[in-house]
Amino acid sequence: MSTLNYRSSKQALPIYNDDKQQRLSVKQNNNLNLLKSNKNTILYLYTLIVITWLYTIKYFEVNFVNNAITSSYKDQDTTKLLVFGDVQIMDKHSYPNRPYLINKITQLILDNYHRKNWISSQNIIKPQYNVFMGDLFDGGRYWDNNYWFSEFERFHKIFKKVNVYAKNLLNLPGNHDIGFGDTILKDSFYRFNKFFGNTNSRIEIKGTNYVIYTIDSIALSDSQAPEIQNLSIDYLNEVKKYHNVNPLEKRILLTHVPLFRDPNTQVCGALRESKKPFPIVKGNQYQTVISSELTDMILDSINPDLVLSGDDHDYCEIIHSFNNKEIKEITTKSAAMNMGIQYPQLTLLTIDGKDTLTYSQINLHTPYVPLLVYGILSVLSVLYLYFYTFRIEGNDYRKKNMKLFFYRLMILSVIVLYLVYRTIL
């Protein structure tokens, strides 16, 4: 009886249902698998984006530059003179109305354009002589010594010695370096002479009968400072004595400012980008051609076989008829990307074993194409990261995902900047 009472009073034990625990276990496993999947996906994503950036940077900072040069150059066993027109490196005063950060970024872009063209041209062409046609700096005539020396060092970092056998001729001043004519800044003139070399010089090209004569046509135009002008006049008088010393000597004249011409009859030719006649104007610290009288004095004294000039930034090829002789003058294009021309170029002179001189234009890569590609790729990279963060991982935790998005974007930016730094510098 007591047994019956015990059994009847005892509550029935609940039946244990493990569905809830099973569902929880499945959810945990799914979350774990999703976490692993997300880690694999983000690793794949970063790898894909980084490889894309690496290939793009490598192509546009090296291959794209090399391809432009090799498209217009065939290797030759000759003496080569590579001419750089108006590099005019930017300084902090070049664009005074722009914010500091914009100016700094612009300067980095312009310096990089010069640097990679310089390195590629030296490695591909291997010139014996590199000739700079003046206007090495943008505002060098106005700088104090401290700033000038910092820019002097920067110039040599951009155009650092790559080809140890090449001679760099940097002693031709431009109006942006020392001023022009009667408004030459004396301190800037003497400083340029001291650190870049005598602005009037004679350089024999080894293995040939050609001689380079540089004439400081800017100082020659200074009628207000005889001590400066006479340096060029005395030089021309001395050069004239060489006419009969070596009758086989052939002369290449270098002048920053082009010689006088009639733009209506002496037309620049098809290689000039601008369709307007060559400008004959003057203004503050510049003049587009030297005077007719000084042009005659230079041609009579040096009697050149070829004249190279700069300053205009665009290409121009004309003929001077002087003393029953036709003398060709080539105004070289600027090698800079910010000088108002669409396609910067170099000029290459070659002299073979028979003393035959030829000249050609060397293409430089189209300046803004890499920047455009980098901009497009940046937008695509950001969109890709955004899509992954908010579409694949879901919108349930928007604030958390936004932080995650910016975190991933920051990491990617650091990686890309490092790749750029390693490639460029």
Q: How buried is 296 (Cβ within 10 angstroms: 0-12 exposed, 13-18 middle, 19+ buried)?
A: middle
Q: Which residue has the tokens 């000088």?
A: 339
Which CATH topology does 71-365 take?
Purple Acid Phosphatase; chain A, domain 2 (3.60.21)
Q: Give residue 171's pLDDT.
A: 94
Q: Give residue 158's pLDDT.
A: 96
Distance of CA 331 to the CA centre of its chain: 20
How far is it, in rounded angstroms, from Cα 187 to Cα 12?
Answer: 110
Q: Give residue 340's pLDDT.
A: 92
Top pLDDT among 386 and 71 is at 71
How far is it, in rounded angstroms, from Cα 334 to Cα 336?
Answer: 5
Tell me the pLDDT band of 373, cut-offs 50, 70 and 90. very high
pLDDT at 396 over 70: no
- If you average pLDDT over residues 302-308, what whole number do you get? 96
pLDDT digits (tens, 9 = 90+) for 57-90: 999 999 999 999 999 999 889 999 999 999 999 9
Average of per-residue pLDDT values in the chain: 87
CB neighbour list of residue 27: distance below 8 Å, 6 or more residues apart: none
The structural domains of the chain, with segments of one domain joined by +, span: 71-365, 368-424
Q: How buried is 317 (Cβ within 10 angstroms: 0-12 exposed, 13-18 middle, 19+ buried)?
A: middle
Counting residues of the chain whose pLDDT is more than 90, the rounded percentage is: 68
pLDDT digits (tens, 9 = 90+) for 172-185: 999 999 999 899 99
199 — phi, psi (to 5°)?
-75, -15
Q: Which of 78, 74, 69, 151 is nearest to 118 (CA)?
A: 69
With b for 16 or more beta-carbon neighbours within 10 A and e for fewer, the 380-404 pattern comes to: ebeeebeebbeeebeeeeeeebeeb
Strand, helix or coil at 50? helix
pLDDT digits (tens, 9 = 90+) for 105-140: 999 999 999 999 999 999 999 999 999 999 999 999
pLDDT digits (tens, 9 = 90+) for 325-363: 999 999 999 999 999 999 999 999 999 999 999 999 999
Tell me the pLDDT band of 412, cut-offs 50, 70 and 90. confident
